[in-house]
Amino acid sequence: MDFLTHSLLPLHEVRDLQQRLSAPNLPWRDGRLTAGDQAALVKKNYQLDPNAELTLAISNCISTALTSDPLVKSFSLVRKVHSLLVSRSSAGDSYGWHVDNPFSRHGRRDLSFTCFLSDEDSYEGGSLMIQTGGEDTKEFRLPPGQVVLYPSSTLHCVTPVLSGERYVCVGWIESYVKAADDRSMLFTIDAGARGLLARHGRSDELDLIFQSYTNAVRRLSS
């Protein structure tokens, strides 16, 4: 399983963030300033100044939610959430096909995430498209407060916004386990073991599965 979509923020928190994002005179900057040389050629959006009070508030809110959510932790084996950006895309803005840089000065980029902050009916277009192999792609356009996590090694883009404004928070996760295939295997084992625990309760056999899972994480961690 390479992708995870999940309800991350409660609606009342999202509504508060939406209200704050609608304030006038926020310090929006050209989004190309935070893109690599190749990505900057296909990027057209705006990002809130990384040092702005609102950027830090949103980043802290989402980082805390990611690092405390059991499903996200199982899926990504979070070591660090870092380099969060708050993005605004208006009519005509888009982000063409690109792959994220493998590192930032804050850490390795194993997984990328997008947390949607706008109501779906407040803008048109602006879908996140992720290439899954060959010419196959997955399309994500999620309700406010939901997040999608995916390997940073994948090609992805944001289709042009046709009307309205699209607000998202994007960022990266450094995982304890580098390889996406290894994380997928571990996530499947953990999910299966937790399902058995919920259905049948603890058993000596299940203890062996959890022991094997824990030692596999230990062996595969970097």
Express each pLDDT in 2-25 by its tens digit: 899 999 999 999 999 999 999 999
- Look at residue 1 and tell me whether its pLDDT is greater than 70: no
- 49 and 75 inside one domain: yes
Structural domain boundaries, residue 15 = 4-175
Question: What mean pLDDT do residues 32-52 have?
Answer: 92
Per-residue pLDDT tens for 165-204?
Answer: 999 999 999 999 999 999 999 999 999 999 999 999 999 9
User: 3-state DSSP call for residue 96?
Assistant: strand
Output the pLDDT for position 113: 98
User: What token pair was written down for 173?
Assistant: 């996760």
Last residue of a domain, one of 138, 157, 175: 175
Averaged confidence pLDDT in the chain: 96
Short-list 122, 140, 126, CA closest to 92: 126
- 57 and 165 inside one domain: yes
Output the pLDDT for position 67: 98
- 122 and 205 inside one domain: no
- 161 and 203 inside one domain: no
Residues 6, 87, 57, 72, Cα dihedral to 10°: 20
Q: What helix, strand, coil percent values describe the chain, rounded to 5?
A: 35, 35, 25
User: What token pair was written down for 200?
Assistant: 């049948």
Output the pLDDT for position 134: 73
Question: What is the C-alpha to C-alpha distance for residues 205 and 213, in angstroms, rounded to an integer?
Answer: 13
- 155 and 201 inside one domain: no
Output the pLDDT for position 159: 98
- 17 and 51 inside one domain: yes
Q: How far is CA 84 from CA 25, 161, 172, in A?
A: 21, 21, 7
- 123 and 200 inside one domain: no
- 141 and 47 inside one domain: yes
Cβ count within 10 A of residue 106: 14
Q: How many domains does the chain have?
A: 2
Phi (first) and psi of residue 17, to 5 degrees? -65, -40
